[in-house]
Chains A and B, each alone.
Chain A
Amino acid sequence: MSKPIAVLGAGMHPWGKWGRNFVEYGLAAARAALADAGLTWPDVQYVAGADTIRNGYPGFIAGATFAQALGWSGARVSSCYAACASGAQAINAARAQILAGLCDVALVVGADAAPKGFFKPVGGDRPDDPDWLRFRLLGATNPIYFALYARRRMAVHGATLDDFAAVKVKNARHGLGNPNARYRKEVTLEDVRESAVVADPLRLLDICATSDGGAALVLSSMEFARRHGVAEPVRIPALSTVTPTFPKTVLDLPDFATDSALVVDEPDRPFRSAIAHAAYEEAGIGPDELSLAEVYDLSTALELDWYEDIGLCEPGGAEELLRSGATALGGRIPVNPSGGLASFGEAIPAQAIAQVCELTWQLRGQAEGRQVDGARAGIAVNQGLFGHGSAVIAVR
């Protein structure tokens, strides 16, 4: 078990399609997190930015971009990119600094301004880049991969289109009470059924949108939290960012093929499951002790995969768990009480940070309109795709 760090502040800029610069969202989130922590920007010794690759150079050096927007203060700074896991990597960078005793207080910021429609590779002809090639040679958009997982789930575990729709209905209901969610509207099974097929078997309302948004956290050492007068802060005892293990036999973006399992058998734990397992080991807790989970529902079907990957049920048990109501607010283990990506849309570098904001508010009992009763422990998981992913455990 590793030492925990404290979460002193959480802040977000609401998700939406605001059409403004990503720096504005990050700045608003950072200010909100600092205010929540009762600290000011000059108190911050280390700032970690999660990069966006769709907003020009300022996005590639997000740490410095946000530091400049907040006013150069001489804080140590880092920027990192890890696809959808970028935010968790930034949290981990700050955590390592704190646990190494190199700083007491750190600020983590991620923000994005997303283009409309399908995500596409960054511009230019790059015939040696698999991300470029999958579009050129296969037309394999992100929804195609999500649809391949969904179809597989239907064939192997008997998931139905209505199960997928029920995930959307649940998450939309959860998101109703979340002021930071982009979509705050009840969705019916009928709405999902009638939405256009994008990539069979997935329909428009099965697939998460892309959004603008910003999220930030103020993190500190446990000792600093105590000195600052917070006796029982929300703590992060574990954060895992493990790679897949060879052979990676589950198709991932932007792969043309999986690794071969001809010579080495597939690992006991596939990628997503390994990410969560490493976090449980580090925290010294298991899925039975969770009060809630925030999982990366890039599609409704993927949320069901996550139930199994994070150990809420055995492989093949996700449909039954969903149908039992266990993963809805008021159930045994609410999943995505924030409303999830279904209610937010994805703002890539901000999303994993936003998940931890939600854990923080839930564990403090401040998640108004969507509070999980007596929340004591939560996990936030993310498959960054392209071989990145993360799991963060928070407790109180």
Chain B
Amino acid sequence: MSTTKQRRPAIEGWFTTADGEVRLLGTRCASCGTPYFPRNELACRNPRCDGPKDGSELEDHALSGRGRVWSYADSRYKPPPPYISPDPFRPYTVAAVELETERMVVLGQVAPGHTVDDLAVGMEVELTEGTLYEDDEAEYTIWMWRPVSA
């Protein structure tokens, strides 16, 4: 039964669902304060940051789970691998969302059931967890955006 399938993140360590709240897991430079997503563990990329730039300045940092839509689009045709598409293909929507606190734009698919008609630039959205693809063993999940009012 599909309902008993295990749920696993499609990628380890990029987001958390602890305490029922979905957050993106990035890093932050302890020297200059610049946040990064996806995780940057190599060195702070702010060329004017005077931190050690050996990675020791980067600490774990969960990004805010809400933001405003910067732009959005959808895919009406099946993309090539490595995207794993259900059969038949299901169109999906992608949103670029501006995080006010971090002053950055982060991409994510939009939770199923929401199309481009439900979105507008500037609209407030929040993170949720959704199924990206599944196989016989498990459903593989990923962060997704959804309108706050939903």
With A139-B109, A262-B34 given, is the CB distance from A120 to B102 under 8 Å? no
* A100: interface (CB < 8 Å): no
* B52: interface (CB < 8 Å): no
* A2: interface (CB < 8 Å): no
* A258: interface (CB < 8 Å): yes
Cβ B10 vs Cβ A258 within 8 A? no
Contacting residues, chain A, for B73 (C-beta < 8 A): 143-144, 147-148, 150-151, 199-202
With A148-B94, A151-B121 given, is the CB distance from A262 to B33 under 8 Å? yes
A260-B49 Cα distance, complex, nearest whole Å = 13
- Closest A residue, CB atoms, query B80: A120
Distance in Å from the Cβ of A314 to the closest Cβ of chain B?
Answer: 21
User: B81-104 vs A: 1/0 string, CB under 8 Å?
Assistant: 111110000001010100001111
A143-B74 Cα distance, complex, nearest whole Å = 9
Residue among A133, A255, A259 having the largest count of chain B Cβ atoms under 10 Å: A259
Distance in Å from the Cβ of A192 to the closest Cβ of chain B?
Answer: 16
Cβ A260 vs Cβ B104 within 8 A? yes
Cβ A135 vs Cβ B81 within 8 A? yes
Contacting residues, chain B, for A326 (C-beta < 8 A): none
CB contact list, A248-279 vs B, under 8 A:
249, 251, 255-264
Cβ A139 vs Cβ B79 within 8 A? yes
Contact residue range for chain B?
35 or more
Distance in Å from the Cβ of A254 to the closest Cβ of chain B?
Answer: 10
- Closest A residue, CB atoms, query B122: A155
User: B46-83 vs A: 1/0 string, CB under 8 Å?
Assistant: 11110000000000000000000011111111011111
With A199-B73, A199-B74 given, is the CB distance from A257 to B106 under 8 Å? yes
Cβ A136 vs Cβ B46 within 8 A? no
Contacting residues, chain B, for A152 (C-beta < 8 A): 70-71, 121
Distance in Å from the Cβ of A279 to the closest Cβ of chain B?
Answer: 22
Distance in Å from the Cβ of A175 to the closest Cβ of chain B?
Answer: 25
* B45: interface (CB < 8 Å): yes
The 3 A-B pairs of least Cβ separation, nearest first, read A147-B73, A120-B80, A155-B121
Q: Which residues of B contact A (CB under 8 A)?
A: 10-11, 14, 29, 32-38, 45-49, 70-77, 79-85, 92, 94, 96, 101-109, 116, 120-122, 132, 142
Q: Which residues of A contact B (CB under 8 A)?
A: 117-118, 120-121, 125, 127, 130, 132-141, 143-144, 147-152, 155-156, 196-202, 246-247, 249, 251, 255-264
